[in-house]
């Protein structure tokens, strides 16, 4: 049997083709913008923070001078390693405690509730940093709510400056190097607490965090634009063709 293809008039085909080309071009453009913003953020993280071989950053705000101080992470922030509740206490009840077990419970650097629990073991509080300690190691989120934390993550009671500083440790593969010797890719409490970091005066840290927040905002905004255009393309493909 022959398959009958319903074909619109040529002029209509041309218009549909032009429209889809425009949408595809817009998506390509927004994708390039997103990649450029991601590269900008990466460059800012590399330039605004001090690596282990230097005492001052390459890029600095005016009126700030002097060397940055080296500390172990536990000297500037409290670290709480997660402890998994018993699986028999897991629920899907939104009135119970949100459980963060690993990277699967984090989305767009925030908690994305997936599992709940009736048992409280260790907790992360809203505004604290969450870091994955099991594969993949070193991924970060800012807690947008209180939650119970399982063995796959740690809570770090640090500020936004420390949050961005820890992003540089993910970029330079610090955690990957530490965890590479283990059978199951993971890092310990001591690995985190003894991490050498460099800090500066509070006002400079606040300015760095504010600038990084701004860059991150534009990256997120661009991601949303791209998502909207991709959704539009899908809608057009579903509705312009019979």
Query: For the segment 86-119, what is each residue's pLDDT rounded down to a tens digit?
Result: 999 999 999 999 999 999 999 999 999 999 999 9
Is pTM beyond 0.75? Reply is yes
| Eight-class DSSP state of 73 | G
> In angstroms, rounded to a whole number, what is the distance separating the alpha carbons of residues 131 and 129?
7
Question: What residues does each domain of the chain span?
Answer: 1-68+200-242, 69-199
Peptide bond into 26 cis (omega under 30): no
Q: Which CATH number fits domain 1-68+200-242: 3.30.460.10, 3.40.980.10, 1.10.287.1120, 3.40.50.300?
A: 1.10.287.1120
Residue corresponding to tokens 């640090």: 158
Mean pLDDT, the chain, integer: 93
Q: Which CATH number fits domain 69-199: 3.30.1360.70, 3.90.220.20, 2.60.40.1180, 1.25.50.20?
A: 3.90.220.20
pLDDT for 17 equals: 87
pLDDT for 14 equals: 87
DSSP lists the bridge partners of residue 186 as: 134
pLDDT in tens, 214-238: 999 999 999 999 999 999 999 999 8
Residue corresponding to tokens 């579903």: 238
> In angstroms, rounded to a whole number, what is the distance separating the alpha carbons of residues 163 and 96?
28
Q: Which of 124, 198, 136, 127 is nearest to 170 (CA)?
A: 136
């Amino acid at each position: 049997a022959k398959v009958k293809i319903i074909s619109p008039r040529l002029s209509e085909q041309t218009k549909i083709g032009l429209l889809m080309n425009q949408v595809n071009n817009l998506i390509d453009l927004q994708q390039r913008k997103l990649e450029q913003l991601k590269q900008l953020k990466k460059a800012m993280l590399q330039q605004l923070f001090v690596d282990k071989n230097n005492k001052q950053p390459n890029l600095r705000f005016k009126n700030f001078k002097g060397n940055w101080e080296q500390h172990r992470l536990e000297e500037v922030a409290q670290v709480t390693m997660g402890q998994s509740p018993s699986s028999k206490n897991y629920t899907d009840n939104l009135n119970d405690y949100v459980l963060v077990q690993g990277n699967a419970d984090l989305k767009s650097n925030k908690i994305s509730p997936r599992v709940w629990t009736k048992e409280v073991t260790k907790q992360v509080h809203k505004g604290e940093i969450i870091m994955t300690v099991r594969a993949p190691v070193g991924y970060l989120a800012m807690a947008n709510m209180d939650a119970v934390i399982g063995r796959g993550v740690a809570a770090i009671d640090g500020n936004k400056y420390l949050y961005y500083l820890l992003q540089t440790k993910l970029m330079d593969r610090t955690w990957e190097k530490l965890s590479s010797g283990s059978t199951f890719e993971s890092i310990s409490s001591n690995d985190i607490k003894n991490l050498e970091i460099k800090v500066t005066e509070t006002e400079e840290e606040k300015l760095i965090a504010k600038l990084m927040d701004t860059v991150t905002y534009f990256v997120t905004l661009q991601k949303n634009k791209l998502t909207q255009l991709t959704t539009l393309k899908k809608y057009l493909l579903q509705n312009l063709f019979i």
